[in-house]
Amino acid sequence: MNRPLDGILVLEFAQYLAGPYAGLRLADLGARVIKIERPGTGDACRQLATKNLFVDGDSLVFHTINRNKESFAANLKDPKDLELVKRLIAKADVMTHNFRPGVMEKIGLDYESVSALNPRIVYGEVTGYGKEGPWRAKPGQDLLVQALSGLTWLTGNADDPPVPFGLAAADMICGTHLAQGILAALAARERTGRGSLVEVSLLESVLDLQFEVLTTHFNDGGQLPRRARYRNAHAYLGAPYGIYETKDGYIAIAMGSLTRLGELIGLPSLAEFDKDPADRFDKRNEIKLALAAQFKTRTTAEWLAVLEPADYWCADVFDYPRLLAHEGYRVLGMEQEVRRPNGATVRTLRCPIRIDGQRLYSDVAAPVLGNANQTLNEEPSDA
């Protein structure tokens, strides 16, 4: 199929996750994404393992986030290699990097210098905390940003210590924002003929992720988040919102009338907490304790058989094996296998976006370091 970004050339100087995540999404949408990597070692993510898993010499996480790309190995401190890179920049549509502030200026590949080479280029830049302020040189790392942003006080129960997300939430949302900014700048270029500088930071992205709760904080007199003492699922929402243990598993209960929930599960006393809307939050610990005791008396399937026909918002709580075996997952067709020329394969997920009803699959694996050097050196400089 023709993809929206067919013909767009992206040069990715970014490492680890946030910048490469944006490149992954652009590649899924049809762009040709070329990673510019150090000779010999390449992107440091090639050796950043999750669960010590490697495939064909590179970490599984590198394969996950760099599929469908090419690699050009170049030493940016070598004048000859730098000149080759500038030739690529001159014909590129997009360039991204996530070096700390000041690094690209020293190399001569900052936005002003690159824009002089190619006024149409969209230049995407990821930092940890922006280019100003006391944190500008601090390592832009996911856990550190979660810690500084206040995010870790939203998960877990009231008596728990700060709890981070169990995945790289800062990197993923920041990469999404970078891709959004790049796409907007490409659309603007169609009108103006000129590129743009797109800047995102891990901290700003994680702050935006909290826009709902920070807006509450701005307007409630500056009160701190109050996690529920039991079954907390959202620090700013009242009962029954949470996950509860059943006789044989767990059930998730979202928003809904407490009176109706009490009627359905045999707990009529819940109606008392619907008389004053404030009670749903202020007395949520008391409510959740009552719910927890009641939900333990029957199996998850029994509760679902009562709640789902009544259209009360609820769900079973799956682990990965149950999810992957369920038709609700299988019908999405989310999985694909990517392959290197030597036969090494990785089972992974496809792009979650559909275009004109079509799912976006690609079987191209993450690149071997420098796999495009010969091809790119042979291409005409004005291609």
* Residue length of the chain: 383
Q: What is the pLDDT of residue 83?
A: 96
DSSP state letter for 380: -
Q: What is the pLDDT along the chain (383 residues), one digit of tens a residue?
A: 799 999 999 999 999 999 999 999 999 999 999 999 999 999 999 999 889 999 999 999 999 999 999 999 999 999 999 999 999 999 999 999 999 999 999 999 999 999 999 999 999 999 999 999 999 999 999 999 999 999 999 999 999 999 999 999 999 999 999 999 999 999 999 999 999 999 999 999 999 999 999 999 999 999 999 999 999 999 999 999 999 999 999 999 999 999 999 999 999 999 999 999 899 999 999 999 999 999 999 999 999 999 999 999 999 999 999 999 999 999 999 999 999 999 999 999 999 999 999 999 999 999 999 999 988 877 766 54
| Domains identified in the chain and CATH numbers | 9-209+332-378 (3.40.50.10540), 250-316 (no CATH)
* 261 contacts 274 by C-beta, under 8 angstroms: no
* 278 contacts 239 by C-beta, under 8 angstroms: no
**Whole-structure pTM value:** 0.94
Q: What is the pLDDT of residue 381?
A: 62
Residue 253 burial (10 A CB sphere; 0-12, 13-18, 19+)? buried
Q: How far is CA 57 from CA 19, 45, 48, 114, 149, in A?
A: 22, 12, 11, 33, 35
**What residue type is 288 in one-letter code?**
K
Residue 241 burial (10 A CB sphere; 0-12, 13-18, 19+)? buried
User: Which tokens sit at 191?
Assistant: 């009108």
* 376 contacts 88 by C-beta, under 8 angstroms: yes
Cα 59 versus chain centre, distance? 19
CA dihedral 271, 275, 276, 279 (to 10 degrees): -10
Q: What is the pLDDT of residue 376?
A: 87
Q: How far is CA 49 from CA 112, 279, 370, in A?
A: 36, 47, 21
- The gap between the terminal CA atoms of the chain, to the nearest Å, is 23
Q: What is the pLDDT of residue 156?
A: 95
Q: What is the pLDDT of residue 383?
A: 42
H-helix or E-strand containing 33? strand 32-37
> What are the φ and ψ backbone dihedral angles of 99, each rounded to 5 degrees?
-70, 160
- Helix 202-209 to helix 211-219 angle (10° resolution) is 70
**DSSP line for 123-146:** EEEEESS-SSSTTTTS---HHHHH
Name the residues annotated as catalytic.
Answer: 234
